[in-house]
A and B are shown apart, each in its own frame.
Chain A
Amino acid sequence: MADSAPTDPGVLPVRARGVTKTFTTGAVATPALRGVDLDVRAGEMLMLVGPSGCGKTTLISVVAGILDHDGGEVVVFGQDLGRMDAAARTRFRRDHLGFVFQAFNLIPALTAAENVSIPAILGGMPRRQAEQKARELLAQVGLGDRHGSRPTQLSGGQQQRVAIARALIHEPRLIVCDEPTSALDHRTGEQALELLRAVVVRPGRALVVVTHDARIFHHADRIATMDDGRIVGERLPSALLPSGAHP
């Protein structure tokens, strides 16, 4: 896999300063980010929480390099995304980013192993080798016997595991998850988060999770709360947990 980012373990995975983004529809301008400052540290699971429309998804899109920001600075593993052209950002995502989407976005016509192998193939790995690695990863996430199944033959929790394996196959250093439990029941969601923590969180790798689901807050190392396009607080998970919930 090509590696255009510095490998210095001291480099912050994400460093955002004064990030702004405004969406314009006709004459109407809607500010989505109003000067966001955010650091994501290596080896941590950061949860981004806040009410609907507060800018969480916009921020994660900007940090992941799939949406341009208007102002400020977004540096991911030492690389300033604002200074990259579209093609360079595409290569950067391919090599360093892993995604777990809310709706999984597994291609229905492909088997689990074929879905998982896609990022590796995009990175230049031969198909056969990529699918072998995909089967190994599926075994790691407990789906060793379902590598030939298509998404429609899998439960929601199993599809989420396939999506997690897909986010890991090319060994990215930043993984972004968008509402990873919203399509799952509580127990399956818990299992997905446990799996994410078990297989994703590693030294030198960071995980950013956007969620509404307060029941999974206890999995985070740190929680950043957003409101009205700004980070309005950062705290440890215990501070946000309702009494009687997980420690």
Chain B
Amino acid sequence: MDHVALKMLIGDRVRFLGMVFGLTFTAMLITQQMSIFLGLMSRAYAAVTDIPAAQVWVMDPSMDTIDLGGARGLSATAVDRVRAVPGVAWAVEHLRMPTEATIFQASGGERRDCLLIGVDDQSGIGLPRIVAGRIEDLRRDDAIFIDRDGLDKFARSGVTVRVGDTIEVNDHRAYVAGVVEAAVPVWFSPYLYTTATRARSWLPPLRRDTTFVVARVVDGADPAVVAAAITRRTGLRAETTPVFTRMAASHFATNTGIPITFGTAVGLGFVVGTVIAGLLFFQFTRDNLRYFGALKAMGASDGVLLRMVLLQAALVGLLGYGFGTGLAALFGLVAGGSQLAWLLPPWLLGVTFLAISLICLAAAALSIRTVIRLEPAVVFRG
């Protein structure tokens, strides 16, 4: 009887298309909004993952995210205290301070807020993947590297900065020696990278100017155990990279209204989809009650009718899910080159599938109840 169920459904074109449209809209909205939200969330912690060599992040005990502007820094001795903890292979200082840059144009100077990042003088640890220039260039006088997204942002606002240009950082001359591929920042932009020593010399003097100490553990050691040892011995907060990543994401989620905004959109999509698809499906079933009644009179069991209704719900659900997630993915592809934060992990498709399944089950449940309770004698009542 599967073919009967499907033909009944598709035969009612207007309702069929209405149901598919409703579920497509819902699947697209849930997937698209969640992808943007996850994209923004990933930007909140991406600066952590920009330094893949670091396994442990050490910070002031009150810190819980990556970019708080260095307001809660560590003393200059912190890096040596961390290095002294057994299990630490190496540890370097990592400065992150908001400041101001001036880019010279023919028309005058363009002043921009930026984040100045001081990486290890010797090794350059803290510098993301270099896409223009060499790491040695960072040791040249007044050298800085800029993140590519920052350059793009300059370009979009009509300010052109190239490798070899000279700009001013906090009233100090800075030479653009290279470009790095850093995660798109959520708080400050652009990222300007230089050595930790140079960064200190360009910034106003602070008693505690080391934002983080990043460390790697010796081969075979458990980063979580070493992080706990650092905390015990130094009194500083030390977290493994995965834990710090989650902390940064959590800070973002709890300190901005963004989850509420996106959650509201997703919730509305769910409700609208449920109402549109649910009502249309229920109406479709009601309009076909005489046929379900006739089938029941002719000997169709409750199991057969249940299967028919579930199959109908499954078809509209699968089509809506397929079209909706396809459109969302297309949106992500088209918008991929823009500033849009976008992250569509495979599990999100599972979440959308679950949401659409719930809507279809809710819609089908109403219809199933009506069909199962239908008295077949209704077919003799004209």
Contacts and interface: CB of A to CB of B under 8 A. Distances in A.
Interface string B268-293: 00000000000000000000001101
A105 interface: yes
Interface in B288-312: 290-291, 293-302, 304
Contact of A119 (B298, B301, B302): B298
A105 B8 CA distance: 13
A57 B299 CA distance: 19
A66 B7 contact: no
A99 B379 CA distance: 10
B291 A178 contact: no
B370 to A, nearest CB: 17
A110 B7 contact: yes
Contacts of A94: 298-300
Contact of B294 (A61, A87, A91, A105): A105
Contact of A102 (B7, B11, B291, B382): B382
A93 B301 CA distance: 10
B299 A64 contact: no
Contact of A122 (B300, B302, B376, B380): B300
B298 A121 contact: no
B206 interface: no
A67 B375 contact: yes
A97 interface: yes
Contact of B1 (A64, A97, A122): A122
Contacts of A108: 11
A118 B380 contact: no
B304 A109 contact: no
Contacts of B300: 90, 94, 122
A21 B210 CA distance: 90
B17 to A, nearest CB: 15
Given A109-B11, A110-B4, A127-B3, A119 B299 contact: yes
B12 interface: yes
B10 interface: yes
Contacts of A95: 299
A215 B290 CA distance: 28
A99 to B, nearest CB: 6
B288 to A, nearest CB: 8
Contacts of A122: 1, 295, 298-300, 304
B156 interface: no
Interface string A96-130: 01010111010111100010001101110001000
A101 B295 CA distance: 12
B106 interface: no
A118 B295 contact: yes
Contact of A66 (B10, B297, B382): B297
Interface string B366-382: 00000000011101111
A60 interface: yes
A90 B293 CA distance: 12
A188 B293 CA distance: 26
Nearest to A122: B299
6 contacts: A57-B380, A66-B377, A102-B380, A105-B379, A107-B291, A178-B379
